[in-house]
Chains A and B, each alone.
Chain A
Amino acid sequence: GENVEQHPSTLSVQEGDSAVIKCTYSDSASNYFPWYKQELGKRPQLIIDIRSNVGEKKDQRIAVTLNKTAKHFSLHITETQPEDSAVYFCAASPQEAGTALIFGKGTTLSVSS
């Protein structure tokens, strides 16, 4: 089955710097790759996603890139702000029906001002 590895587990940056979180997946048939943000004490919420027919997607300060050949995808946050501090989860969706998202173990991002 699908396996998703996420790195780093913790990331500390200064306000205004960029942050990059990387994930690799094992199932070449996976076709949907979302990123979720979970603030302390709150539920995970989707921030951006990408499908396998697209190499890059951007939404204001966040972007996701996908390399299907290498089977890895990354989250890029530019001009980080303290409110970006949270746990970020990547996930992959295997193509076969009846299988839900497989999540990475999460990255705790801390943005200091």
Chain B
Amino acid sequence: ETGVTQTPRHLVMGMTNKKSLKCEQHLGHNAMYWYKQSAKKPLELMFVYSLEERVENNSVPSRFSPECPNSSHLFLHLHTLQPEDSALYLCASSQSESGGEQYFGPGTRLTVT
């Protein structure tokens, strides 16, 4: 699969579990993003990374911890989540962080029980 890939596609976890979401982009882009998409707040920006440095954190609770080891990979580490964290988590990438087309991955459907 080319473009932006995400694994796993579906995840069910308990409130005490620790899991990680993975995103990989094959486009040579310099910026990567995490979005949360739920019925109440569609496409809510969580984190922005540019050249592996976090440039934006939109007041996201500390139970979400991003990691960007290189410009092609982005992780979202999850621990002690709440049921209201159940949502579709979308990763995206773009050439730079200051505007321009963003390419989205297929998303991870997360259910917290």
User: Residues of A with Cβ closer than 8 Å to B?
Assistant: 31-32, 34, 42-46, 49, 87, 89, 93, 95-103, 105-106
Q: Is the interface of A mostly helix, strand, loop or mixed?
A: loop
Complex: chain A residue closest to B50, CB-CB: A98
B101:A97 contact, CB within 8 angstroms: no
Q: Is the interface of B mostly helix, strand, loop or mixed?
A: loop
Q: Which of B45, B100, B104 is the one whose CB lies under 8 Å from A44?
A: B104
The minimal Cβ–Cβ distance linking B94 to chain A, given in whole angstroms, is 8
Interface residue? B90 (CB, 8 A)? yes
Residues of B within 8 A of A96 (CB): 98
Interface residue? B43 (CB, 8 A)? yes
The 4 closest A-B pairs by CB, nearest first: A93-B99, A103-B43, A98-B55, A43-B104
Interface residue? B69 (CB, 8 A)? no
Question: In the complex, A93 Cα to B48 Cα: how many Å?
Answer: 13
Interface residues on B, range: 20 to 34
The minimal Cβ–Cβ distance linking B27 to chain A, given in whole angstroms, is 13
Q: Which of A42, A43, A97 is the one whose CB lies under 8 Å from B97?
A: A97
Complex: chain A residue closest to B4, CB-CB: A43
Q: Which of B41, B94, B98 is the one whose CB lies under 8 Å from A97?
A: B98
The minimal Cβ–Cβ distance linking A90 to chain B, given in whole angstroms, is 10
Residues of B within 8 A of A106 (CB): 42-43
The minimal Cβ–Cβ distance linking A84 to chain B, given in whole angstroms, is 19
Question: In the complex, A34 Cα to B43 Cα: how many Å?
Answer: 14
B42-99 contacts to A, CB under 8 A, are 42-43, 45, 48, 50, 55-56, 90, 94, 97-99
Question: In the complex, A36 Cα to B31 Cα: how many Å?
Answer: 18
B42:A32 contact, CB within 8 angstroms: no
For this complex, 20 residue pairs linking A to B, each with C-beta atoms less than 8 Å apart, are A31-B99, A34-B101, A34-B102, A42-B106, A43-B104, A43-B106, A43-B107, A46-B101, A89-B43, A93-B98, A93-B99, A93-B100, A98-B98, A99-B48, A100-B56, A100-B97, A100-B102, A102-B45, A103-B42, A105-B42
